[in-house]
Structure 1
Amino acid sequence: MDPVANPFSPGAGSRPPELAGREDVVGAAEIALKRVIIGKSAQSQIFLGLRGTGKTVLLNEVLEIAEREGYIAAFIEAPENKSLTEMIYPAMRQVLRKLSGLEKAKYMATKGLKALRGFASAFKISLGDIEIGVEPDPGVADSGNLEVDLGEMFEAIGRAAKAADKGWVLLIDEVQYLETNELAAVIVAVHRMSQRNLPVMVFAGGLPQIAKLSGDAKSYAERLFVYPKIGALDEIAARDAILKPLAAENVQIESQAIERINEKTGGYPFFLQEWGHHAWNVADGSPIETDDIDLATKRALARLDEGFFRVRFDKLTNAEVEYVEAMASLGKGPYKVNDVAKVLQKQPKSLGPRRASIITKGMIYSPSYGEIDFTVPLFDDFLRRNKLW
């Protein structure tokens, strides 16, 4: 079939043609946004899930809803080697510049820009294009204490947005890469917005361990945020994710072929797109048959092994590779920490630093006490398939 007409989009954060199985999550986010901008309370949200479950897609969906509802939106991604202040400064500057162009918000936005100059100075942020005629406001957001200063910046932006009858929504992807003090500062700032009843919300996406990390950072985090779990799609939603895009192109697929796709992908959205993409490209025409899925599987796994899985594998040191290979040798997770230690013939405590390092890199997480599992679905299959140990 014509590859140009292929409806599937297996890219990082790319919106699938059918956002199946996420209606409740999107609906809850929309209600929260609508409530906050009219002065009613609602909790900010952190989407929790493994790699490939569509958290980034959902954040982008929230961004579009927010802009429709009158918010100014800012999207940042937390990398492993950059501070929160460096990432968030341009986002705050952008929203204040936009608000300063609105007559009703000009005064409050200018105050915010003054505070931002102090914030930049306190955290040694390169200003780049310096605001003409804007001097820092001494004593505002310039203490060098991130929890205090970020809260003051959120308040300055919130007051300017409220003056303009608008809101501000900050979206943070890969939130697990924030340092503990940075995560605590965001939580404190959100708490301040709730107390001041200002139209500011935070939506974030992160790996499953972030719920515990946020609770460790600030004990009241569980009351400020809701944590929707973004997992694999159920059978019906997974079928819709394949069937509906094909139907829109007047292409059918055999029922057994869909079952084969679900079996191979585990219902994870990213992998559904990958298999759908290759199934389309290998099929001679409609309907797509089970034999087509077998060939699509070979192509999908080859591409995943060379890219999606390999990129993550290459982040690990030799000792860390040894650890994840020991996990995979035990079959499907989650895995008992003690069982992995037995495979490596070491004491569990001696492996603690190695395990912690792999968790910090976002490759594994602890679903419950004494257990670990991969954050990347099918990664254990990749290790076994390539016989890397």
Structure 2
Amino acid sequence: MDPIRNPFAPGAGSPPPELAGRSAVRERMRQCIGRLRIGRPAKSMMLIGLRGAGKTVLLFQMLKDAERDGAITIRIEAPEGRSLPALLAPQIRLVLLKLNRWSQAQAYAVRGLRALAGFAGKLKATYGDIEVGLDYEPEPGLADNGELEGDLAMLLEQVGRAAQAADTAVAIFIDELQYVKESELEALISALHRVSQQQLPITLVGAGLPQLRGKMGEAKTYAERMFEFPEIGSLSPSDARAAIVIPIENEGERIEDDAVALIIEQTQGYPYFLQEWGKHAWDDAARSPISAADVRNATQQAVVTLDESFFRVRFDRLTPKEKAYLRAMAALGPGPHRSGDIAEALHRPTTSLGPIRSSLIAKGMIWSPTHGDTAFTVPLFDDFMKRVMPMEKTGDIAASG
């Protein structure tokens, strides 16, 4: 099989050749944009899921869908260590400059740019990483109180009024939203609540790990009434099959049914893993159709590749104590697990492990599905931990805590 024609694309955020199983979520976004453009209310959306479930890919596809439907979009990633105002301000400026091209929206867009000048100027003292070009002088009293929640609400209100005048909508797409500080997340939710009350055409589509839902509820108790929270998980067997078979057939080649079944079994239907297995199965096959034997031969290389990249990049960020904690979880199985069971496996009091658990949650390695439970945020990470840390090597690390 020609590797140059290999259709599969494993990579961080790389769009797959066939985006299977996500049409319902995309349709909800299409309806949201359509309703906003005619002045009807619509909930914003949070894509919730584990690593490798395809949230980033879906987020970008929904952005393209929104642009096709006539919306103006903002796309940002919320990396650790950057403030939300610093990420938003330059993008809001670009949106306002676009809206300024509509004659009927110019006055509102200019006022929005004045609001942005006040917003950035007053919050610079608090958020030193704000860097944005200023096109107009600030208007006194407009988004310049120096308090994020009120100023962001006033700024988005001006953006919404300009979009309304231009008969369009603004869709803000934020990836890795779980990394936004709670105070900044609170301000964002509050600002969106304000523009929603005024029926202004602004929506937010975020993506994050499962703990994001709880974090938003803690930031604002009414958040769950403002947002939809579609869970982006592993694909159904039929959708997983489509993700493998359609790209191969589009290249004029075939894959046997038992080979597809084996890939789905090995990957548990997670989109990133499907791409990895599909790539290696194609490269390993000498000819079409790809067989189950080809998939079995490719599995070892697929696992090695995942260990060296997808899993290793997360493992290398961990301290020895954090690695020991995750290894103890892995010994108990895929999870979720009770905190007391993990502590017992480490021969430690549960209370002594609280800081380690909190650190792992902050790093996005684990989350708590229910009170007292702990689960991996990365699918198949328990198997990786067993490979990279054989049980006999964990005793000294656990005891050192």
Could you tell me the TM-score, scaled by structure 1's length? Answer: 0.97
How far apart are 1:126 and its partner, in Å?
6.5
Q: Runs of 5+ in structure 1 lacking a partner?
A: none
- 1:362 counterpart letter in structure 2: G
Aligned pairs for 1:79-158 within 5 A: 79-124=79-124, 130-132=133-135, 134-158=136-160
- 2:346 counterpart letter in structure 1: L
Counterparts of 1:130 and 1:321 in 2: how far apart (Å)? 44
Aligned position for 2:286: 284
Q: For 2:7, what is the secondary structure of its paired residue?
A: coil
Q: Runs of 5+ in structure 2 lacking a partner?
A: 395-401
Counterparts of 1:126 and 1:322 in 2: how far apart (Å)? 36
Which sits farther off after the overlay, 254-263 or 198-207? 254-263
How far apart are 1:101 and its partner, in Å?
2.2
CA contact (8 A) 1:116 1:141 kept: yes
- 2:388 counterpart letter in structure 1: N
Cα RMSD of the aligned pairs, angstroms, is: 1.2
Aligned position for 1:316: 318
Aligned position for 1:218: 220
Q: For 2:9, what is the secondary structure of its paired residue?
A: coil
Aligned position for 1:51: 51
Alignment deviations for residues 202-234 of structure 1 (CA, whole Å, 9 cap, x no partner): 000011111111111101001000100111011
Counterparts of 1:130 and 1:29 in 2: how far apart (Å)? 31
- 1:131 counterpart letter in structure 2: L
- 1:375 counterpart letter in structure 2: T
CA contact (8 A) 2:108 2:161 kept: yes
Does residue 369 in structure 1 map to residue 367 in structure 2? no
- 1:317 counterpart letter in structure 2: T
CA contact (8 A) 1:278 1:299 kept: yes
- 1:102 counterpart letter in structure 2: W
Counterparts of 1:291 and 1:234 in 2: how far apart (Å)? 24
Alignment deviations for residues 57-91 of structure 1 (CA, whole Å, 9 cap, x no partner): 11111111111122110100000111101111111
How far apart are 1:37 and its partner, in Å?
1.2
How far apart are 1:127 and its partner, in Å?
7.0
Q: For 1:310, what is the secondary structure of its paired residue?
A: helix
Aligned position for 1:360: 362
How far apart are 1:164 and its partner, in Å?
1.1
CA contact (8 A) 1:120 1:126 kept: no
Aligned position for 2:61: 61
CA contact (8 A) 2:86 2:130 kept: no
| Structure 1 residue ranges (4+ consecutive) displaced by more than 6 angstroms after TM superposition | none
CA contact (8 A) 2:48 2:229 kept: yes
Aligned residues: 388
Aligned position for 2:397: none
Aligned position for 1:266: 268
Alignment deviations for residues 341-388 of structure 1 (CA, whole Å, 9 cap, x no partner): 001111112211110110010000011121111101011111112235
- 2:61 counterpart letter in structure 1: E
Q: For 1:205, what is the secondary structure of its paired residue?
A: strand
Alignment deviations for residues 286-328 of structure 1 (CA, whole Å, 9 cap, x no partner): 1001111112111111111111101001111111111111111
- 1:349 counterpart letter in structure 2: T
Counterparts of 2:335 and 2:133 in 1: how far apart (Å)? 52
